[in-house]
Structure formats: C-alpha cells, structure tokens
Amino acid sequence: MRAIDYLGDCGFSAKVVGNRLIVSPSSRETQEQCRYIKYG
C-alpha cells in the first residue's frame, strides 16, 4: 500500500486494521500528511 510506504519513510508506524489505517505517533502528523492519509 502506497500510503503505508510513504508514512514509513516519514518515520511513522502505519498498519491496516479492518478497513482503517492506524498511524502513530499521530501527534507528529502535519496537516499535509493528515490530508494525504484521509484523501490518498
């Protein structure tokens, strides 16, 4: 999944649980990254 690879390159941990993408640590996400995650 492209989003998981991108987030991993940015230093985040990301995994799919059911139909949701779980990203941590969410406190480090920028607004741009939040938009990328939400809208792909």
In tens, the pLDDT along 14-34 reads: 999 999 989 999 889 899 988
The verdict on pTM exceeding 0.95 is: no
CA dist 30 and 19 (Å) reads: 23
Residue 28 vs residues 18, 19, 32: alpha-carbon distances, Å: 23, 23, 11
- Average confidence (pLDDT) over 34-38: 85
Structural domain that includes position 31: 2-39
Q: What pLDDT score was predicted for residue 6?
A: 85
Total domains in the fold of the chain: 1
